[in-house]
Structure 1
Amino acid sequence: MLKYRLGIDIGGTFTDLNLIDNDGKVVDTFKVATTPKDPVQGILNGLDILFKKGIAPEDIDYFVHGTTIGLNTLLQRVGSELALFVTDGFRDLLNLQRLRLPVPYDFRSRLTESLIPRERVFEVKERLLYDGSVHKKLNMDSLDAAIDKAVKCGVKGVVVCFLYSYKNDMHEEMACKRIAERAPELNVCGSSALWPQTREYERCVVATVNLYIQEKVKKYFQQLESGLRKAGLKALPFITQSNGGIMDMERAANEPIKTLFSGPASGIIGAAHIARSADKANLITIDVGGTSADISVIEDGKPMFTQSSETGGLPILIPTISIDAIGAGGGSIAWIDSGGLLKIGPVSVGSDPGPACYGWGNETKPALSDAFLLCGYLNPKRFAGGRLPLYPELSEKVIKELSKYLKLDTLNTADRIVQVAVTKMYSEINSILEQKGIDPRDFSLLAFGGAGSVVGNFLAEELHIGSVLVPPTPGTLCALGALNADFLNDVVSSEHSLLRSIPMDELRAKFAGMNAKAEKWIKEQNIDKYIEKTQYLLSMDVRYHGQSYETEMIIEPAWLKCETHAEIEKAFHDMHKRYYGHCDTNAEVEVVNLKVRALGITHKPPYALAEEAKEPAKSETTRRVILKGKVYTADIYSRTDLKFGHCISGPAVVEQDDSTTIILDGWEGKINRCGNLIITRKESIKG
């Protein structure tokens, strides 16, 4: 039996640790400062704190880690220098992209700069047709010449992306093998081996990003493994993926693109876990960290997924949990624009030097956290468990220039900064929800991250959301979410055929072959002791013949046992009508991709139950706070003192080591059976 489970998430400012036992009880949870130049050191510093508290390294038998190393490498454009081999005549693949302006109404907007410049793109004589048949054989002399040119350029790796390789990867496979023979020092990535899906440009970008970030990710994992072993940890490290699953570190090192949104995705898995404990199926989640606020949606208890996302101006065509980022976090800088308006972000002070109140050297740039402190929301002596004292006088100093411009005192200036930040979040969240067709009044808001529960109640009031859910450890929910993730892998096969043109026997055989690949992946993970069962989900990307874009549809195994395609067609027509308000039962249905998702369902500890309250909640003290332009004397509560059944009225501040929660005037907070703090309007309670 596992004794302790440790989840770790590295953010831009803090590294979060969450340690639970087999009963689901949080043994310890806290934050330590992230060390940007050596993220592993932040983890080791956190482990050292745990060990000093009496946790033995050998008692930690399950270790899951969310990372942003790959994402930061991509966004900062500090990855490996690469060459690209393409089909003869397609040298401008990465430069032409989709020929769409990033901002359609701005003719000055420009396409994203390619990760591989044109002078390092080399053409290879070969050609496949749309059905995967060979039109021109791979010319080895042409390939060898390209290899020689790449070596001469001094690149670290080569991406191979040939036309229609998703239908037949023979030429790409031959090219990768030849590169390995002639230049073994080069890393190689074939587009179809990584993600064999249609759309040549997007497939090429996926392979390019994967190889671009791979060197830094591998180096980080090597340092992590070495550091963990020196610290005495024997648990095999697992890494969270963008799709909300986890995989072993070796696979993550070879396919780092699947970890791009590792940390944020962990938070959504944690949010779904908390949603079940609060009996809330529909949630809008907001994760506010140091740099950004991440927005996601959980509907019917399940996170929303997307088959394509965009990062750094590049399309990432792999399944990920749908997350939208807003440039407003605790480190976001407050500034005055050219029109004289107060703005927040998207530029952040980061973890170095951090907000002025940290005392780490920032003397000129006011951040949102400085405003939180001056508004009375944060306790200078308890921030980050007391390991990071805050300095209000430094916050006052950096906000003073804004105060002079706005002709306000520092307190009201800080309040204005908070209001502008909330307004920015509200505006962008509202736009995101409109695009998804979601009425926020039908959802609850789940607030987490270091500052999510600070602004959660403000946002709920603006969005007309009836309740805010704050988990027991909001500041470290991403770390907790990693501990509740399942092992997950997606297998894809591009089809591009009319559904009725694929005989049912052939369709069954194709899914069976993909299922075998999925089963092989599960076996290679060596995870028998961590999982309760395995599950395989079948799906198709389908559309009406003639449409440009497709929709994913789950395929029930029983449908494949039928002699005709009728059940699958009916399901698609019904889904299309549900999503778009209409369907055409006379139109041909086209299958774009077949997919199989392998799930290794991990052992989930039970929900830890909160101790029942025997008397009313008592505040520790009071503090002056300013909320939306009005000064109040707010009751201050410690989260550790709040028990099941306790009810507190706003205005109030609930303090804990990993975060702070603000309850506004006219709202009440109540602790449920699993220790969640649920904030609702007083009117709705009385009603």
Structure 2
Amino acid sequence: MGDSWRLGIDIGGTFTDLTIINNETGQLTNIKTPTVPADPAQGIANGLALLREKGINPQDIDYFVHGTTIGLNTLLQRRGETVALLVTEGFRDLLNLQRLRLPIPYDFRSRLPEPLIPRERVFTVKERLRHDGSVHTPLDMDSLDEAIRGVLASGAKGVVVCFLHSYKNPVHEQQAVARIAELAPGLGVNASSVLWSQMREYERAAMTSVNMYIQPNVQRYFETLQERLSGEGVRTRPFITQSNGGIMDIGTAAEAPVRTLFSGPAAGVIGAVQAARSAGIGNVITFDMGGTSADISIIEGGEPTFTQTNQLAGMPIMLPSVSMYSVGAGGGSYAWIDNGGLLKVGPESVGSTPGPACYGRGDKAALTDAFLLCGYLNPERFAAGNVRLYPERSAQAIQPVAQHLGLNEREAADRMIQVAGANMYAELSAVMEQHGFDPREFSLLAFGGGGPVTANFLAEEIQAQSVLVPPSPGTLCALGALTADFAYDAVLSLQQRFDDYPFEQLVREYDRLADQARTWLEQQQVSGLEGSTLYYSMDARYAGQAFEIELPLDRFMLEAGKGERIAEAFHELHRRQYGHSDEAAVLELINLRVRLVGHTQKPVTVSLPQADSELKPVGQRTIVYGGKEYEAGIYSRAAMKAGHQVEGPAVVEQDDTTVLILKGWYGEADGSGNLILKRKEVLA
């Protein structure tokens, strides 16, 4: 019997990354191939062909997990399905009114985002529930039938049902869904109480609309993916990464594609957690720079941070997800001159087609072109030699920018890098202030194709403790997908005073949520899990507050009936987050949450042998940064062993990225294969 393999895939805006692990030996292989925007599944097929060239048969793949951006791109490009909405009578303008807040409070010209469903496709139904879920006005079937006829006449291919207070009692939504199935069996239906059974009707309606809007495109892609994989000989069932850093089966993802919107970046953070643990570093700022953007996330104490609320294209996405922030441009972001004559870089990107000018097809000067002209990149071995770079095309593309600035092409490229770095520093500073942490206590973990090229600049600016570059940073998102656990978040909306709610009932509700999570995990039909863990929390606030905070709980508090300990923990958390607390105030429970994590098999950490001699450079070339030229040694990452040190300025080349080490810094390889950049002089 031959070897078996586990495959993780991440499709980015520029490259499709594949990471495959041999189940028997732990051998890890990484592949990068250009993304095919018009047919993302073809990029996967191209990657499988490259694996065949390395002697890996797709038929031997017994575990497949995939991060997708289909839903994300559908929403951003507004290319989704024609959708209608059924709402409670009197709430037709729900999506238009939104929260009545300007997106930019100090800019009166800023506008609320255009709803995915225009008012003419919103239909009202006579029914009404009270805030506690009791029926005020029974569902009027004649009114419902008239609304369904209106939906069909509007040409909508799908319909969202979102009635007032349905999170407390879904009975009217359930009746409406059943009636739609009778009168319009070919119509797609999403009920808000099924997707997100929590308070706040606008957020619930908007997010369910997003789900229905992107669902047909995502389902078509999943069908194409399964057909393509079958044609390539892959026989295992695919799993899909979620925004919460977990994975789920492809059927579940097809029903709730809104849960996959941030799946790619979230997988990268999960990969970063594994890398930080292997290096023994607990506090990390992840820095993921790909072809179209640069994103960061915060890891504290070895654990990723999560949020219950997000926004995308102006739409609220009220689902648990890994906390992420966009802080700048990607390798494909191109230079332009604004109306005031200032040099700008991004946010627009050339993507993978046509790509940066150095790819040989485009004519815009992107950051990758700047990296190439400044000497950071080797044109002969970019993306493991699978992508040939043309420096002369970069110089030609950047020439108009250089002429405007009165500089030569290399100087203009250096300015581009400085502008991009300044933008990233400004955005990252805002995140650091928001979280209130000292960057000197954190390391910057660089990944993505462009992260290791840029990270040392950013670390220098924020005075980070060090820079951690994992063994395969260019494909860390694919590795993160492959090492991600199954994860499910169960939630129950309460809106109850804590002191009025029986503690025994609280425990029963948590047990019910835990059973719901366990049932979900069983439905995933996955074998080989290495156990599971339940995490408990509650959304709570002081009575009268508009928004709540999430309070983590341990099972001991519930089993021991420690109601007073829960209240004390909330006061302490509120004081830590807002600088004050009120022990005399009434505590209000909003939501109970249970998160289940099914632990998947993790790859064996491969130890580097200890160095027994000095690492020699394989070459030398001139690099430019900060307006100065430096002679930099060129080193091969593949030749590095534990204990090897590289003094900056230097360039470390590997198949999936390039690491730039600045003057005044040095890089050292650890026993797990990580490259850690440190200052020669420690900051006071």
Mark yes or no: TM-score above 0.5: yes
Q: Are positions 1:622 and 2:620 aligned together?
A: yes
CA distance in 2, matches of 1:2, 1:561: 46
Partner of 2:464: 465
CA-to-partner distance for each residue in 1:126-179, whole Å, 9 max, x for gaps?
A: 000010000000001101111111111111100000000010000011101111
Q: Distance in 1 between matches of 2:395 and 2:505?
A: 70
Asked whether the 8 Å contact 2:241–2:260 carries over to 1, the reply is yes
User: Residue 652 of structure 2 corresponds to which residue in structure 1?
Assistant: 654
Residue of structure 1 in register with 2:478 after alignment: 479
Is contact 1:2–1:62 with CA below 8 Å preserved after alignment? no
Question: Contact 1:82/1:158 (CA < 8 Å) preserved in 2?
Answer: yes
> Mean alpha-carbon deviation: is it higher for 554-563 or for 319-328?
554-563
Q: Which residue of 1 aligns with 2:435?
A: 436
1:641 paired residue number: 639
C-alpha change, 1:318 and 1:24, in structure 2 (3 Å) is: farther
Instruction: Report the counterpart of residue 398 of structure 2 in structure 1.
Output: 399
Q: Distance in 2 between matches of 1:101 and 1:487?
A: 38
User: What does 1:401-550 align with in structure 2 at a 5 Å threshold?
Assistant: 401-527=400-526, 529-550=527-548
Q: Which residue of 2 aligns with 1:317?
A: 318
Q: Deviations over 1:607-646 (max 9, x none)?
A: 1111222211111111111121111111111111111110
**For the residues of structure 2 that align with 1:25 and 1:424, how far apart are their CA atoms?**
40
CA distance in 1, matches of 2:651, 2:530: 41
Shift of 1:22: 3.5
- Per the alignment, residue 221 of structure 2 pairs with 220
Structure 1 partner of 2:551: 553
Across the two proteins, how many residue pairs are aligned to each other? 683
CA distance in 2 between partners of 1:30 and 1:54 (Å): 13
Given residue 578 of structure 1, which amino acid in structure 2 is its aligned partner? Answer: R
Q: Is 1:598 matched up with 2:599? A: no
Verify the 8 A CA contact 1:286 1:446 in the aligned structure 2.
Answer: yes
- SS of match in other structure, 1:532: coil
Is this contact kept in 2: 1:23–1:607, CA < 8 A?
no
- Report the more deviating stretch, 288-297 or 564-573: 564-573
SS of alignment partner, residue 530 of structure 2? strand
Task: Please give the residue correspondences for 1:351-370 in structure 2 after superposition, counting only pairs within 5 Å.
Answer: 351-360=352-361, 362-363=362-363, 365-370=364-369
Could you tell me the TM-score, scaled by structure 2's length? 0.98
Instruction: Quote the Cα distance in structure 1 between the aligned partners of 2:278 and 2:323.
Output: 22
**Is the Cα–Cα contact under 8 Å of residues 439 and 465 in structure 2 kept in the other structure?**
no
1:23, distance to aligned residue in structure 2 (A): 6.8
Once the two structures are TM-superposed, the CA of residue 379 in structure 1 deviates from its matched residue by 0.6
Structure-2 change in CA distance of 1:668 and 1:23 (3 Å): farther
The SS at the match of 1:115 is coil
Distance 2:669 2:542 in 1: 49
Distance apart, 1:535 and its partner CA: 1.7
- For 1:506, what is the secondary structure of its paired residue? helix
SS in structure 2 at match of 1:132: coil
Letter in 2 for 1:382: R
- Give the structure 1 partner of residue 665 of structure 2: 667
Q: Return the alpha-carbon distance in structure 1 between the equivalents of residues 440 and 498 of structure 2.
A: 40
Secondary structure at the aligned position of 1:15 is classed as strand
Identity %: 56
Alpha carbons 1:246, 1:487 under 8 Å: kept: yes
Runs of at least 5 residues in structure 1 that lack an aligned partner in the other structure: none
Report matched runs for 1:30-179 at 5 Å.
30-179=31-180
Summarize deviations over 1:56-107 as a string: whole Å, max 9, x none: 2232211111111110000000000000000000000000000000110111
Question: How far does residue 539 in structure 1 lie from its aligned partner after superposition?
Answer: 1.1
Structure-2 separation of matches of 1:194 and 1:2: 40
Q: Deviations over 1:35-75 (max 9, x none)?
A: 00000000000001101211122322111111111100000
Equivalent AA in structure 1 for residue 303 of structure 2: K
Q: In 1, distance between residues paired with 2:40 and 2:215?
A: 16
Contact 1:101 1:111 in 2 (8 A): yes
Describe the superposition over 1:365-402 as per-residue Cα deviations: whole angstroms up to 9, x where unpaired: 21111111100011111001111100000000011111
The answer as to whether partners of 2:86 and 2:161 remain within 8 angstroms in 1 is yes
The equivalences for 1:581-592 within 5 A come to: 581-592=579-590
> After alignment, is 439-448 or 1-10 more displaced?
1-10
Q: Assess if the C-alpha contact under 8 Å between 1:13 and 1:351 holds in 2.
A: yes
Q: Is the 8 A contact 2:31 2:50 kept in 1?
A: no
Rounded to whole Å, the distance in 1 between the matches of 2:228 and 2:528 is: 23
Q: Deviations over 1:301-341 (max 9, x none)?
A: 11111110110011111111010113401011111111111
> Is this contact kept in 2: 1:23–1:605, CA < 8 A?
no
Distance 1:327 1:457, change over 3 A: closer
Aligned equivalent of 2:204: 203
Distance 1:493 1:127 in 2: 21
Q: CA deviation at 1:431?
A: 1.1
Q: How far apart are 1:605 and its partner, in Å?
A: 2.5
| CA distance in 1 between partners of 2:401 and 2:671 (Å) | 45
Aligned residue type for 1:637: Y
SS of structure 1 residue aligned to 2:681: helix
Any idea what SS the aligned residue of 1:602 has?
coil
1:306 matches 2:307: yes
1:272-291 equivalence runs, <5 A: 272-291=273-292
Which sections of structure 2, spanning at least 5 residues, go unmatched?
Answer: none
**In the alignment, what sits opposite 1:326?**
327
Partner amino acid for 1:495? L
Is it true that 1:269 corresponds to 2:270 in the alignment?
yes
CA contact (8 A) 1:24 1:607 kept: no
1:293 and 1:325 in contact (8 A); partners too = yes
Q: In the aligned structure 2, how far is the partner of 1:408 from the partner of 1:571?
A: 59
TM-score (norm 1): 0.98
Inter-partner Cα distance in structure 2 for 1:405 and 1:88: 59
